[in-house]
Structure 1
Amino acid sequence: MQTRTPIKVRGYHLDLYSHVNNARYLEFLEEGRWNFLEQQPGIEELMKSGLGMAVVNININFRRGAFMNEELEVLTELTKVGNKSALIQQKIQLKGTDTLIADADVTFVVTDQKAQKAVPFEGELLKLLQAWQKKPE
């Protein structure tokens, strides 16, 4: 399932060149991931179980600057579930258009919060993550 998260570019997002500072894209992408997770079945139970999610790698491609008052949209979907990590793909677009501002591949793991280490994707956890995954078209 793909989610869409609106973001309006505000003055505090800008750098001295009057476009969104590169570090702010991390915040935009994180907002999109939180929105995605909040819409997934079983997320509350996962968080209460002592498991957490941790980003281990982010690769961002910057395609076009974003400017004051532009309305953006973060598209987020889980595209791959492996044995111990999964991949979320995200795009930031001008809202209502196909104009790509940035795109990112975000790799995450599920961690045992007490042990502070990644756990393998198996059993109910694997089924849960697969339920969140983008279905082939």
Structure 2
Amino acid sequence: MTFRVPLQVRSYELDTLGHVNHAVYHQYGEVARVAGFEAAGCDWNSLVAKGTAPVLLSTTVDFRRELRMGEHFEVSCEIRFGRGKSFHLDSTITKDDGTVSAEISCVLGIMDLDARRLVHDPRGALEAAGFQPEVLAP
């Protein structure tokens, strides 16, 4: 089952057209990422204590349907590891009626805070901090 966070549109998130401002979708994705990592057992303090931290390398949003004041929706969080120093974390914003409002694609890495470079094994670094990837598996 995909990890999801329920949210509701607040008045200050709207633009002059009366729907959610484009930049707020990125914030919704961040809310889901942080909640997802916590649900997967990732101890952020442990990561930082080991001299590492997650970094966002790229993010894109594909807008599908507008969100308006007061609407309830969920933001999913799914992780995909491959080979190399980065990994993918994708989110789908879905209205309560099942309509997809937006799709967010992110590429992240785990930075060695002393060397200011990405670690070679991001999954291993996360798992060493308690991360359970199956919680965010697609």
TM class, shorter-length: 0.7 to 0.9
Instruction: Find out whether 1:3 has 2:3 as its counterpart.
Output: yes
Q: What is the aligned partner in structure 1 of residue 64 from structure 2?
A: 63
Name stretches of at least 5 consecutive residues in structure 2 with no aligned partner: none
Asked if 2 retains the 8 angstrom alpha-carbon contact of 1:81 and 1:130, the reply is no
User: Structure 1 unaligned runs (5+)?
Assistant: none
- Between the two proteins, the alignment pairs up a number of residues equal to 135
Higher mean C-alpha displacement, 24-33 vs 118-127: 118-127
Identity of aligned residues (%): 27
Q: Which residue of 2 aligns with 1:85?
A: 86
Structure 1 residues 126 and 79: alpha-carbon distance in aligned structure 2, compared to 1, 3 A threshold: same
**Aligned pairs (5 A) from 1:1-137:** 2-44=2-44, 45-95=46-96, 97-121=97-121, 124-125=124-125, 131-133=132-134, 135=137
Amino acid at match of 2:66: G
In the aligned structure 1, how far is the partner of 2:123 from the partner of 2:113?
18
Compare 17-26 and 71-80 and name the one that shifted more.
71-80
> Cα–Cα, structure 1 residues 120 and 28, in superposed 2: closer, same or farther, change >3 Å?
same
Deviation at 1:124, TM superposition (A): 3.7
**Are the aligned partners of 2:87 and 2:122 in contact in 1 as well (CA < 8 Å)?**
no
CA offsets 1:51-77 (integer angstroms, 9 cap, x no match): 100000112100000000001110001
1:3–1:35 CA contact under 8 A, matched in 2: no
In the alignment, the residues of structure 1 paired with residue 123 and residue 59 of structure 2 have an alpha-carbon distance, to the nearest angstrom, of: 27
CA–CA separation in structure 2 for the residues paired with 1:40 and 1:46: 14
User: So what's the TM-score if we normalise by structure 2?
Assistant: 0.85
Distance of aligned partners of 1:28 and 1:117 in 2 relative to their CA distance in 1, 3 Å threshold:
same
Q: Secondary structure at the match of 1:28?
A: helix
How much has 1:101 moved relative to structure 2?
0.4
- How far apart are the structure 2 equivalents of 1:123 and 1:21? 33
- Is the CA contact 1:2–1:36 (under 8 Å) kept in the aligned structure 2? no
Q: CA RMSD in A?
A: 2.4
